[in-house]
Amino acid sequence: MRHVISLLIENESGALSRVSGLFSARGYNIESLTVAPTEDASLSRMTIVTTGSDDIIEQINKQLNKLVEVVKVVDISESAHIERELLLIKVRATGKDREEMKRMADIFRGRIIDATDTSYVIEMTGNQQKLDSFVAAIDGAAILETARSGVVGVGRGERVLKV
């Protein structure tokens, strides 16, 4: 099962290695991992997308909590939540494909944020599937470069992850 785990960790050097090292040492999967400081600069928020059986996910939660610098861990995918990922994609945009590419970006509510005679950079946010669908929908040969941020997420409604 796919899970999205969010955690708050002391914003110290090496904090990221402690988390990524835990996953590699214990053989857990990381599909994506993002990290950035929060409004409180002493804390970073990490979002990890992982897969595993219920037992593995339980262990991941416990092991993350055990790290001395981890302040709080929440599996946000356990209840209603919102996930977003940012995609920056540079595509070839020449000839008749140029118009088609713009149309596809519009359909997926992407924005062209850079353009040259031959290329576009399209910015798009959404959940993983939406971005996957867009990448699948355009001509693969036209893709010059993609950069994806990995997933971030928050719980819906009243639930907050805060110290």
Residues in contact with another protein by CB under 8 A are: 9-10, 13-14, 17-18, 21, 25, 55, 58-59, 62-63, 65-66, 68-71, 163
- Shortest Å distance, C-beta 36 to another protein: 18
Nearest to 67 by CA among 12, 123, 108, 116: 12
Q: Which of 83, 57, 103 is nearest to 149 (CA)?
A: 83
In angstroms, what is the minimal distance from the CB of 104 to another protein? 45
For residues 43 and 154, which CB has a smaller minimum distance to another protein in the complex? 43
Which is nearer to another protein, 21 or 37 (by Cβ)?
A: 21
Residue 29's Cα: distance from chain center in Å? 15
Q: Which is nearer to another protein, 18 or 84 (CB)?
A: 18
Other Cβ atoms closer than 10 A to 24? 10
- Judged by CB, which is closer to another protein: 9, or 131? 9
Q: What is the DSSP string of 84-139?
A: EEEEEEEEE--HHHHHHHHHHHHHTT-EEEEE-SSEEEEEEEE-HHHHHHHHHHS-
In the block, tokens 């402690």 appear at 18
Which of 17/118 has CB closer to another protein?
A: 17
* Cβ at position 8, least distance to another protein in Å: 8
Shortest Å, Cβ 62 to another protein = 4
Phi, psi (deg, nearest 5) at residue 31: -85, -45
For residue 44, the minimal CB distance to another protein (Å) is 12
Q: Which residue's entry shows tokens 């519009």?
A: 106
